[in-house]
């Protein structure tokens, strides 16, 4: 009785493939859980039902809701007796289940180990050493990401090696071979293996494939638009016998192509299953009509999508707010002030979120929320806790602890240990222990030469810190240490780290009015205080600060979207001359996701000037703002005069 007509249709179909296009806030989890309930009411044994989600949180929530529905349904318990329960898990948990039952085929035991990211990175470094490959030339993190992406595409090491087209790919293939041997020696699998090995078991062993295809007669996959090639293949194998595959998703919310998610999986579902029933869930239960009108007007420009138009019975609601500020500091203060105003009006802080496209924007937002005493929770790592930021600050602290070119650092050995191999220099922990004990003279000549270069680098940093402005000193550290070069040569995650490291230049510029050493000391002190703040509990009554990617699946009454500037949102990658059409469409989908997180009100915010990498940049408003009908947007107020602003001279 609680389902609308389209939801009922999706629930009542028993046999055959089903594609459910579920728009944001359309109640897809309710549909999946009630569909499972209806299957069991129609005589399907619970253990014959499989439901796959993407996160542990989502699978736990779905499992609890299904169990609650089954427990309260009298028709099922009398006279039907439940045999087992539906199998509800993530793709990775499903892989562990299948691999454990057939571990011997893979040369494993049921109790095999699973490598986490740190384990995998260590194994890659070990493999590089065995291949005599210099980690200064090839970043281990980049190598690991390339292996991970290839596994997500369903490639084995041998297949990757056969298809290698250049020196980089050939090098990765060689490292991958050694890496696999190291993992195998540990009787372990990494996270990507949990999917790849599962697909290989199902694809290469007909008996195993037929067994699971018979066990799970009815299969459900949530967030189908986020599946990669190997997850697609696993799903296809499992549905090969009965073809009772129900997938739920929304091409308009495909925002993880950088992780290997393939939008074609959901767009081509009807080609894979021509007999499929397609159901559109367009009724939104979350947002106001104004928010949905804005979201629809933005996403309709995309070509790679299943056409739909979200609607709602909710009220029209308030117009979308447009906040214009001179600088990022003014923007953050304005957002913090508005959040404080909402809280004073009775809005719970946990129902307010500030979203941004790039992580580095969080730093100035945090400062404003602290100064305005607005409770907040940063979803993810706080700015001064990020590795790349801590690395740069550790270089400065280590340099300041080295009082003269001939002296060893006066303390600060934790900082030395942290950065002596960032970027990699081939200096190990045993060497650090010896030099900290005053035994550097006992080391081999080659190692002493490496150390001499490192001490010289610290001396140069110390000189710059004492003579140059804080922002120039931080910029010098980024360039001379090789951190900037290392992050430039990496993947999209490293690009994000580089943006964070460059943001530290902008932070340091706030202390440029002080004498050099005093400015650096103030920067280090404030960074330490920020780092020492206790983590906020997940259920804390606090405004949430997070990236748009992190917000997917969440909803809030009031949503601020900061940094709505061209080349920031939509985002333009560093050193990229142009953006491909597929990247443009994904950026638009990301904005669509941001808009549809809001239940009652959206605020779009942009700055006229933003400091990026220590330099002020004049901004154009994001093209996404123009995609929205102007009648849906409040007339913006003129930006207030920037507090403490200096004259800006622009040479055209």
Catalytic residue numbers, as ranges: 28-29, 222-223, 253, 597
Question: Cα separation of 310 and 301, whole Å?
Answer: 15
563 φψ region: left (φ > 0), alpha (ψ -120 to 50), beta (else):
left
- Asked if 288 and 316 touch (Cβ cutoff 8 Å), the reply is yes
- Asked if 104 and 116 touch (Cβ cutoff 8 Å), the reply is no
Axis-axis angle for helices 117-130, 140-152 (nearest 10):
110
Question: Cα separation of 147 and 593, whole Å?
Answer: 29
Cβ atoms within 10 Å of 102's Cβ, excluding its own? 18
Cβ atoms within 10 Å of 131's Cβ, excluding its own? 14
Cβ atoms within 10 Å of 60's Cβ, excluding its own? 14
Question: Cα separation of 107 and 181, whole Å?
Answer: 12
Runs of H (alpha helix) within 326-444? 328-344, 362-371, 387-400, 413-419, 429-436
Unique residue bearing structure tokens 């007339």:
635
SS3 content of the chain, % helix, strand, coil (to 5): 55, 15, 35
Question: Cα separation of 59 and 521, whole Å?
Answer: 48
Q: How far apart are the first and last CA of the chain?
A: 66
Unique residue bearing structure tokens 């205080």:
529
- Asked if 395 and 477 touch (Cβ cutoff 8 Å), the reply is yes
For 63-71, which contacts have Cβ atoms below 8 Å and span 24 or more sequence positions? 63/88, 65/29, 65/33, 66/33, 66/36, 66/37, 69/33, 69/34, 69/36, 69/37, 70/37, 70/40, 70/46
Question: Cα separation of 375 and 339, whole Å?
Answer: 10
- Asked if 180 and 215 touch (Cβ cutoff 8 Å), the reply is no
Unique residue bearing structure tokens 């062993």:
205
- Of 538, 548, 638, nearest to 592 (Cα)? 548
- Of 353, 233, 296, nearest to 599 (Cα)? 353
Strand arrangement, sheet containing 352-356: 321-325, 598-607, 556-561, 352-356, 543-547, 376-378
* Residue 538 burial (C-beta neighbours within 10 Å; 0-12, 13-18, 19+): exposed
- Of 493, 506, 486, nearest to 381 (Cα)? 493
Question: Cα separation of 558 and 275, whole Å?
Answer: 42
Question: Cα separation of 256 and 492, whole Å?
Answer: 12
Question: Cα separation of 566 and 578, whole Å?
Answer: 13
- What are the structure tokens assigned to 408, written together? 């060893």
Three-state secondary-structure class, residue 327: coil
Question: Cα separation of 652 and 59, whole Å?
Answer: 56
- What are the structure tokens assigned to 193, written together? 């293996």
Sign of CA dihedral 387, 259, 90, 379: positive
């Amino acid at each position: 009785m609680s389902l609308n007509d389209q939801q009922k249709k999706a629930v009542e179909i028993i046999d055959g493939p089903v594609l459910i296009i579920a728009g944001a806030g359309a109640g897809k989890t309710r549909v999946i859980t009630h569909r499972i309930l209806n299957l069991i009411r129609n005589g399907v044994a619970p253990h014959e039902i499989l439901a796959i989600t993407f996160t542990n949180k989502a699978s736990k929530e779905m499992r609890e809701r299904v169990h609650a529905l089954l427990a309260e349904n009298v028709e099922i318990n009398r006279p039907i007796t439940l045999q087992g329960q539906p199998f509800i898990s993530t793709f990775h948990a499903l892989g562990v289940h299948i691999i454990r039952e057939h571990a011997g085929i893979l040369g494993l035991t049921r109790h095999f180990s699973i490598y986490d990211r740190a384990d995998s990175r260590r194994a890659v470094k070990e493999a590089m050493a065995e291949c005599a490959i210099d980690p200064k030339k090839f970043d281990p993190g980049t190598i690991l990401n390339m292996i991970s992406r290839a596994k997500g595409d369903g490639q084995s090491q041998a297949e990757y090696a056969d298809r290698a087209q250049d020196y980089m790919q050939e090098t990765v293939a060689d490292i991958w071979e050694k890496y696999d041997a190291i993992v195998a020696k540990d009787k372990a699998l990494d996270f990507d293996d949990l999917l790849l090995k599962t697909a290989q078991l199902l694809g290469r062993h007909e008996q195993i494939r037929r067994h699971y295809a018979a066990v799970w007669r009815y299969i459900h996959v949530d967030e189908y638009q986020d599946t990669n090639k190997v997850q697609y293949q696993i799903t296809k194998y499992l549905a090969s016998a009965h073809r009772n595959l129900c997938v739920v998703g929304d091409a308009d919310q495909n925002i993880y192509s950088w992780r290997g998610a393939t939008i074609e999986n959901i767009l081509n579902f009807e080609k894979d299953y021509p007999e499929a029933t397609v159901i559109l869930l367009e009724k939104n239960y979350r947002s106001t009509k104004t928010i949905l009108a804005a979201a629809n007007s933005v996403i309709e420009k995309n070509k790679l999508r299943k056409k739909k138009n979200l609607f709602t019975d909710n009220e029209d609601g308030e117009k979308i707010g447009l906040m214009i500020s001179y600088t990022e500091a003014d923007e953050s203060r304005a957002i913090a002030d508005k959040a404080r105003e909402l809280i004073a009006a009775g809005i719970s802080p946990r129902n307010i979120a500030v979203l941004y496209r790039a992580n580095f924007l969080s730093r100035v937002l945090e400062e404003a929320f602290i100064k305005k005493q607005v409770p907040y929770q940063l979803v993810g790592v706080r700015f001064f806790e990020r590795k790349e930021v801590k690395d740069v600050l550790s270089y400065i602290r280590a340099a300041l602890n080295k009082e003269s070119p001939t002296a060893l650092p006066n303390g600060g050995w934790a900082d030395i240990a942290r950065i002596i191999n960032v970027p990699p220099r081939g200096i190990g922990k045993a060497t650090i222990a010896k030099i900290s004990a005053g035994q550097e003279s006992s080391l081999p000549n080659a190692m002493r030469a490496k150390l001499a270069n490192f001490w010289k680098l610290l001396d140069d940093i110390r000189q710059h810190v004492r003579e140059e402005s804080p922002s120039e000193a931080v910029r010098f550290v980024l360039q001379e240490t090789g951190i900037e070069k290392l992050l430039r040569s990496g993947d999209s995650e490293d690009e994000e780290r580089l943006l964070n490291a460059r943001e530290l230049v902008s932070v340091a510029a706030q202390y440029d009015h002080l004498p050099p050493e005093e400015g650096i000391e103030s920067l280090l002190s404030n960074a330490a205080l920020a780092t020492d703040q206790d983590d906020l509990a997940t259920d804390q009554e606090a405004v949430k600060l997070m990236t748009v990617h992190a917000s997917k699946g969440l909803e809030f009454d009031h949503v601020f979207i900061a940094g709505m500037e061209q080349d920031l949102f939509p985002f333009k990658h560093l050193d990229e001359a142009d953006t491909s059409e597929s990247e443009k469409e994904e950026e638009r989908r990301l904005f669509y996701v941001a808009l549809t997180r809001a239940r009652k009100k959206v605020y779009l915010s942009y700055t006229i000037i933003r400091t990026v990498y220590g330099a002020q940049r004049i901004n154009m408003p994001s093209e996404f703002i123009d995609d929205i009908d102007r009648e849906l947007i409040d007339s913006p107020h003129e930006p207030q005069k920037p507090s403490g602003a200096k004259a800006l001279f622009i040479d055209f």
